Amino acid sequence: MAIAEHCAQTGIQPGLVLCSSSVRTRATLALLIPYLSVPRIQIERGLYLASVRDLFARVSEVDDDTASIMVIGHNDDLHEFAMALAGGGDAALRQRLDTKFPTGALASFDLDIPTWRQLAPGAGALVGLTTPKDLRCP
Tell me the domain boundaries of the chain: 3-135
| DSSP SS3 for 7 | helix
Contact present, 38 and 17 (Cβ < 8 Å): yes
108-114 average pLDDT score: 94
CA angle 68, 26, 7 (to 5 degrees): 40
Q: Percentage of the chain surpassing pLDDT 70?
A: 98
76-98 average pLDDT score: 93
Cα–Cα distance for residue pair 127/95, rounded to 1 Å: 12
Cα–Cα distance for residue pair 9/2, rounded to 1 Å: 11
DSSP state of 46: G
Provide the pLDDT confidence category of residue 135 given band limits of 50, 70 and 90.
confident
pLDDT at 13: 92
Overall fold of domain 3-135: Rossmann fold (3.40.50)
**Per-residue model confidence as pLDDT tens digits over 24-66:** 999 999 999 999 887 799 999 999 999 999 999 999 999 999 9
Closest CA to 16 of 82, 90, 71: 71
As a whole number of Å, the CA-based R_g of the chain is 14
